């Protein structure tokens, strides 16, 4: 729900993509129809110059595609995620999250990669020159599998979590987010801000971040950021994602992370996703459309 409507909302807001045709595809006809109605109502309300289509036939969806946004999961998603975390923990394997790295990430990969490779097989047949944008996790493992199986396909893995910095850098530095210019690097879920400066003065903002950051970041109540503060303090570079992602690739991350906050984050995310689906369905039934 979040990525389907979110992708359509972003396309609607893009001048570059104005006039595009979007084709929604899902193997679940009920979910597909709900998402189609939700997105179409938003397009109508905003009078957006976007043409929306939907189909449960994947080959039809892929035909003439220029870009393909892949965002699939195996249901029941959150039940599986809980097992990915709790079963390794039972045997002494402490994962901060278990979604992308460690044995939990392996279990996740074994579920989601086979159907994604089936999708890519169809892409190679129907639209081999299309550009694939993958949102499905485990991000790095999914992308690795695709490139190994279909090396000629054009692919990028995208998880734009750098927007997380928007929540705390402006108040910490006393400047609007629009006044900050970034250069970031690394793998999805495991990257840092390499350079950051103030646009108005051109000055390097890292000295201020290194001075104020560790204490400020540790005191953020809403997000899991203890590991982020430790990395900044120890190595001098700021991770741009949550601990629940960044910590998945370090076996010692458990010792520096607020596990309770990470667990609460995932619990809240699951509840939000489920409630959003229920709310969308109710709005559509009442003929009120949807806000995306």
* Residue-range domain boundaries for the chain: 2-160, 162-260
List Cβ neighbours of 289 (8 Å cut-off, separation of 6 or more): 38, 41, 42, 44, 45, 283
CATH architecture of 2-160: 3-Layer(aba) Sandwich (3.40)
Average pLDDT per consecutive 10 residues, the chain (292 residues; last block may be shorter): 74 93 95 90 91 97 97 95 97 96 97 98 98 96 98 92 89 97 90 97 98 95 90 96 92 94 90 84 72 64
Contact 53, 62 (CB under 8 A): no
Which structure tokens are listed for 20? 């595009």
pLDDT tens for 110-145 read 999 999 999 999 999 999 999 999 999 999 999 999
Q: Can you give the pLDDT at residue 273? A: 85
pLDDT tens for 231-256 read 999 999 999 998 999 999 999 999 99
Q: Can you give the pLDDT at residue 163? A: 83
Task: Let me know if 151 is exposed, middle or buried by CB neighbors in 10 A (0-12, 13-18, 19+).
Answer: exposed
Active site residue 160: yes
Beta bridge partners, 78, equal: none
Residue of 108, 160, 167, 245 marked catalytic: 160
Q: Can you give the pLDDT at residue 160? A: 73
List Cβ neighbours of 210 (8 Å cut-off, separation of 6 or more): 232, 236
Answer whether the bond into residue 285 is a cis peptide, omega within 30°: no
Q: Can you give the pLDDT at residue 125? A: 97
Residue listed under structure tokens 């409507």: 5
Say how far apart CA 29 and CA 157 lie, in whole Å.
27
Say how far apart CA 55 and CA 41 lie, in whole Å.
17
Contact 132, 153 (CB under 8 A): yes
Sign of torsion over alpha carbons 281, 282, 284, 285: positive
Q: Can you give the pLDDT at residue 157? A: 94
């Amino acid at each position: 729900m979040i990525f389907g409507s979110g992708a359509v909302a972003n396309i609607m807001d893009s001048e570059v993509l104005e006039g595009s045709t979007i084709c929604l595809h899902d193997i679940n006809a009920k979910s597909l129809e709900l998402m189609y109605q939700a997105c179409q109502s938003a397009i109508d309300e905003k009078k957006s110059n976007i043409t929306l289509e939907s189909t449960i036939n994947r080959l039809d969806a892929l035909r003439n595609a220029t870009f393909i946004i892949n965002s699939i999961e195996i249901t029941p998603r959150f039940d599986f995620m809980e097992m990915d975390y709790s079963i390794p923990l039972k045997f002494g394997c402490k994962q901060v999250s278990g979604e992308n790295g460690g044995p939990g990430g392996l279990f996740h990969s074994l579920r989601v990669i086979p159907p994604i490779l089936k999708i890519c097989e169809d892409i190679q047949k129907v639209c081999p020159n299309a550009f694939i944008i993958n949102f499905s996790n485990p991000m790095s493992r999914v992308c690795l599998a695709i490139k190994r199986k279909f090396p000629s396909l054009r692919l990028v893995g995208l998880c734009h979590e750098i927007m997380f910095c928007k929540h705390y850098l402006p108040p910490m530095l006393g400047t609007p987010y629009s006044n900050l210019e970034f250069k970031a690097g690394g793998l999805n879920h495991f990257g840092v801000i390499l350079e950051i400066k103030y646009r108005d003065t051109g000055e390097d903002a890292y000295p201020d971040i290194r001075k104020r950051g560790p204490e400020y970041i540790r005191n953020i109540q809403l997000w899991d950021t203890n590991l982020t503060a430790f990395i900044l303090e120890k190595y001098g570079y700021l991770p741009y994602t949550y601990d629940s992602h960044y910590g998945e690739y370090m076996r010692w991350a458990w010792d520096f992370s607020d596990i309770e906050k990470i667990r609460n984050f995932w619990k809240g995310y699951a509840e939000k996703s489920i409630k959003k689906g229920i709310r969308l369905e109710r709005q559509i039934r009442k003929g009120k459309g949807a806000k995306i």
